[in-house]
A and B are shown apart, each in its own frame.
Chain A
């Protein structure tokens, strides 16, 4: 296998020219997305460049504390993005979500890095950071869908919750329709995506490994492992987020604490 062909900065800058085609389409149909696309691509370029500088440093040092600190930053960014995009109360729910993210990562990273890949050093930056990042990135997207569906469902359909609760069912039974709906809504797209992987989509990690010079056989094994890690990590993270957030979401008489859940504290 040959090593990857480098892209020079000039050639990378040249690659932005391809955007003229979608922009021409936006202009022709008056879509109004040109400005937001330019902002998004500029942000992506700056963020990835900054991350690249940081990761170069972190990978070079390969220091346990630094690696863990970087993953913690990823968890925090993921949690606050989730809370913001789900319109949930950050003050009340940040800690439950941080605990959930951290716990899911400890379980999944320990299992896959320690027992499947069998790394001699669990916090090896080359593995620990990208794999944790892939789990957290995916978990964030699914948590946004799942938590939004759960808490929005609970707040907007209080009638069903109270109907079950007041007719003598436990809180666990009364919230179960909302949990089932939220988990299905969050995980169904991932299950559908997993079932067509390799047929319709070639996943990023596998493509990256092949471009990096690894054999497709190794790339596929890693891809299968990462899909299992992502699925397990997302599921644990979402379920734990709901379970731990529920401690704050209900009062002693098991009434929904609407003000705790939403950013609107009226």
Chain B
């Protein structure tokens, strides 16, 4: 049994079939990229993986537990999730750490590995560039120390150098399972598995 299993998943919006009988099996520690043109359902699939959206049919299971009303809380406790376009309306990184109950000191190493200064945690998000915000929030999510990371376009605001730093950091965590959507070829090239929608 795979660590994350997607079995016969179908989803449509009205007459538009986003995907039919989708099957994906992800082993523990694998880094997976979901790719496809815009509108093919990449974000929809991530929303279903996190239980925000329901499939029309099929099942999703994490570590043997099928995602449903009774299991959703436990499954979400396994996940670290970073959405695309991070507009969280929070003041700064420290506030986000506080909300997620993360000790800021515990993520200094991630922040530095991503090429940022730890002082960025206290800086207003409105003063950070898109790339700095994305790296800072990624470091915060890594601080949750969850076994599964779900990342929606994790490199969308990053330059080539920052992408490599992110790849180096995440790929150094061998036990970490990553499910990501991407349009970036460097990221895709490093992934163990590519799923084309």
Residues of A participating in the B interface, judged by any CB pair closer than 8 Å: 157, 159-160, 162-170, 173, 177, 252-255
Which residues from chain A contact B50 at a C-beta distance below 8 Å?
162, 166
DSSP majority for the B interface? loop
Contact A159 B87 (CB under 8 A): yes
**Binary contact readout B65-91 vs A (1 if CB under 8 angstroms, 0 otherwise):** 000010011001111110100111110
Tell me if B4 counts as interface (CB < 8 A to partner A).
Answer: no
Smallest CB gap from A173: residue in B = B99
Contact A166 B69 (CB under 8 A): no
A157, A160, A167: the one within 8 Å of B81 (CB): A167
Smallest CB gap from A158: residue in B = B52
Which residues from chain B contact A254 at a C-beta distance below 8 Å?
72-73
Contact B89 A160 (CB under 8 A): yes
- Docked complex: B20-68 residues within 8 A CB-CB of A: 50-52
Smallest CB gap from B71: residue in A = A253
Contact A167 B72 (CB under 8 A): no
Contact B51 A163 (CB under 8 A): no
Which residues from chain A contact B87 at a C-beta distance below 8 Å?
159
A160 to B90, CA, bound (A): 8
B52, B73, B78: the one within 8 Å of A162 (CB): B52
A173 to B101, CA, bound (A): 10
Tell me if B183 counts as interface (CB < 8 A to partner A).
Answer: no
Contact B69 A167 (CB under 8 A): no
Contact B99 A169 (CB under 8 A): yes
A169 to B86, CA, bound (A): 18
Contact A162 B100 (CB under 8 A): no
Which residues from chain B contact A159 at a C-beta distance below 8 Å?
83, 86-89
Could you list some 20 contacts between A and B, CB below 8 A?
A157-B89, A159-B86, A159-B87, A160-B89, A160-B90, A162-B83, A164-B100, A165-B76, A166-B79, A166-B150, A167-B80, A167-B81, A167-B146, A168-B144, A169-B100, A173-B99, A177-B99, A253-B51, A254-B72, A254-B73
